[in-house]
């Protein structure tokens, strides 16, 4: 099917992917909206091309699309390498879960992916540095395990005047009421606030800190991506 330098798109012979538009993380968007251009399904790439493309997509914050590329390689590759490509695809799905704010799902898929690629540790085919990737998996899983609930937004405590003329707060700042604790976050283009009890505020602050930790972790995950592999040293076929 694939001649040197020639990519054959045999999309017609494969089941079509869902044509619904998707965002950068592969989440379905309403029909008729402009989604992120999807990866054409069933493009045949050699191993080098698959790895380069998956790496590029991971580093540009599109782990879902990287997973599609790796999945194509898994489905079209030689039988002996199925588990390798499936494992790499699972790692990309793990990163997708993390980026969608699901640390538990992320840890599970990264564990599964690591199990899939582990048997290739000695061989490290296609210039992949499997031991380095496994080390990365273990580190990321340990960090994900520290994150339970996540929450976006911020928590603020404010004292406010009530506005009643008879109240001392109209003339004395010291008599302002509160503090009232609020959790504020962006929702549908505007800021929404909810009052919290002091106990809720403690949890909210913790979960928001978790969100920031996850956000930084995702950033590192995507930047590390497959760059630890040595495939760039492989001459292009
Ligand atoms: Zn008052």
* Residue (of 167, 166, 194, 171) closest to 181 by Cα position: 194
Domain-embedded: residue 203: no
Q: Is residue 76 in a domain?
A: yes
The beta strands (E) that lie in 17-149 are given as none
pLDDT of residue 228: 54
Decide: 161 and 141 in contact? Cβ < 8 Å: no
| Interstrand relation of 154-160 and 177-187 (parallel, antiparallel or unpaired) | antiparallel
Q: What are the angstrom distances between the C-alpha of 45 and each of 54, 57, 112, 127?
A: 11, 15, 24, 16
Distance 185 CA to ligand 1 centre (A): 27
User: Is 56 a member of any domain?
Assistant: yes
Question: What is the reported pLDDT for 223?
Answer: 74
Using N-to-C axis directions, what is the helix angle for 63-76 and 47-59, rounded to 10°? 170
Asked, for residue 5, whether it belongs to a domain, the answer is no
Q: 92, exposed or middle or buried, with CB in 10 Å at 0-12, 13-18, 19+?
A: buried
State the pLDDT at residue 5.
35
Residues 6 or more apart from 209 whose CB is under 8 A from it? none
Radius of gyration, alpha carbons of the chain = 24
The answer to whether residue 128 is domain-embedded is yes
Is 193 part of a structural domain of the chain?
no
Tell me, what CATH number does 19's domain have? Answer: 1.10.3450.10
Q: How far apart are CA 210 and CA 212, in angstroms?
A: 5
Q: How many domains does the chain have?
A: 1
In a domain, 164, yes or no: no
Q: What is the Å distance from ligand 1's center to 197 Cα?
A: 20
Contacts of 213 (CB under 8 A, 6+ apart): 143, 146, 147
Asked if 98 and 109 touch (Cβ cutoff 8 Å), the reply is no
Tell how far the Cα of 164 is from the centroid of ligand 1, in angstroms: 6
- For residue 99, what pLDDT is reported? 87
Q: How far is the CA of 153 from the centre of ligand 1 (A)?
A: 28
CB 179 within 8 A of CB 161: no
Q: How far does the centroid of ligand 1 lie from the alpha carbon of residue 163, in Å?
A: 6
Tens-of-pLDDT digits for all 237 residues of the chain?
333 333 334 444 444 455 666 777 777 766 666 666 555 566 678 888 888 889 888 888 889 999 999 999 999 888 999 999 999 999 999 999 988 888 899 999 999 999 999 999 998 888 888 888 898 899 889 989 888 788 889 999 999 999 899 999 999 999 999 999 999 999 889 999 999 999 999 999 999 999 998 888 888 887 766 665 555 444 444
What are 85's two structure tokens?
A: 């490509």
CA of 205 to the centre of ligand 1 (A): 28
What is the pTM (predicted TM-score) of this model? 0.72
pLDDT of the residue at 196: 94
Beta strands 190-196 and 177-187 are antiparallel
Domain that holds residue 141: 11-149+216-233
What is the Å distance from ligand 1's center to 159 Cα?
A: 10
- Report yes or no on 53 lying in a domain: yes
Is 216 within 8 Å of 224 (Cβ atoms)?
no
**SS3 of 157, please?**
strand
């Amino acid at each position: 099917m694939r001649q040197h330098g020639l990519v054959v798109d045999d999309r017609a012979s494969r089941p079509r992917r869902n044509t619904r538009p998707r965002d950068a993380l592969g989440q379905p968007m309403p029909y008729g909206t402009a989604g992120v251009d999807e990866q054409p399904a069933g493009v045949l790439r050699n191993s080098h091309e698959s790895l380069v493309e998956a790496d590029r997509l991971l580093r540009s914050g599109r782990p879902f699309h990287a997973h599609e590329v790796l999945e194509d390689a898994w489905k079209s590759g030689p039988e002996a390498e199925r588990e390798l490509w499936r494992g790499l695809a699972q790692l990309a799905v793990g990163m997708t879960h993390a980026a969608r704010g699901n640390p538990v799902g992320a840890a599970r898929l990264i564990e599964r992916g690591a199990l899939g690629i582990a048997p290739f540790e000695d061989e490290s085919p296609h210039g992949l540095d499997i031991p380095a990737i496994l080390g990365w998996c273990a580190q990321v899983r340990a960090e994900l395990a520290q994150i339970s609930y996540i929450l976006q937004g911020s928590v603020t405590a404010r004292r406010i005047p009530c506005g009643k003329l008879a109240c001392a707060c109209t003339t004395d700042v010291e008599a302002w009421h509160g503090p009232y604790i609020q959790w504020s976050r962006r929702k549908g283009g505007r800021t929404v606030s909810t009052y919290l009890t002091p106990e809720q505020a403690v949890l909210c602050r913790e979960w928001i800190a978790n969100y920031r930790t996850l956000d930084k972790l995702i950033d590192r995950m995507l930047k590390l991506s497959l760059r630890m592999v040595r495939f760039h040293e492989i001459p292009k076929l």
